[in-house]
Amino acid sequence: QNVVGYIPGKRDPDKFFFFTAHYDHLGRMGSEAYFPGANDNASGTAMMLDLARHYSTPGNQPDHSIVFMAFSAEEVGLLGSVYYVKHPLFPLENIKFLVNLDMVGSGSLGIKVVNGTVFKEAFEKLVKINARNEYILKVSERGEAANSDHYPFYASGVPCFFIYTLGDECKEYHNIYDVSANVPLTEYEDVFRLLADFERQ
């Protein structure tokens, strides 16, 4: 099942910013192999929950509402996000922006922003925020791709990014070695700060 929480906005509660991540992973493959999914996608789920903790703290309540959504069944075809788009709890047309977090356990080489070439103004905001604060090495753009839970929203007209970190220090993906010990969270805190600053723009 999808898991959804939200913090109502102080001034504009009917406008929404979404942070999303899928909490499922490949799991057991056959009778012996187990794919734990620490980077893909416990890392993204952890950051989404950290953001929820941040905004629920007194003094950090946003002007508009913020939704935190953990999707199920991404690994078997984006089923959780497809379901949400077909059965929205909040009107899709009221979503100001959505940021999907999937595999954010590295970061030595910066981040990749799927849909960065589509939503150029929002992408340039990310770049400027990062340049001003020197959070991470680079904010790199990429075109549209149906490779994570942002895509059903994008296909329905919602402005959105899918963000993942870059760096050779975290190479495990869809295998038995994607365990917490192999996820260094190199730029986790700085990516968090970048996202929080972006939400406020």
pTM: 0.97
Closest CA to 191 of 143, 132, 126: 126
Give dist(CA 116, CA 138) in Å, integer: 13
pLDDT of residue 29: 83
Residue 190 · residue 138 · CB < 8 Å? no
Omega of the bond leading into 175 within 30 degrees of 0 (cis):
no
pLDDT of residue 5: 97
140 strand-pairing partners: 112
Residue 156 in 3-state DSSP? coil
pLDDT of residue 16: 98
| Residue 27 burial by Cβ neighbours in a 10 Å radius (0-12, 13-18, 19+) | exposed
Residue 97 · residue 159 · CB < 8 Å? yes
Please report, in tens digits, the pLDDT of each residue of the chain (201 residues total).
Answer: 999 999 999 999 999 999 999 999 988 888 889 999 999 999 999 999 999 999 999 899 999 999 999 999 999 999 999 999 999 999 999 999 999 999 999 999 999 999 999 999 999 999 999 999 999 999 999 999 999 999 999 999 999 999 999 999 998 899 999 999 999 999 999 999 999 999 998
Instruction: Count H helices and E strands in the chain, helices first.
Output: 5, 9
Between strands 33-35 and 27-29, the pairing is: antiparallel
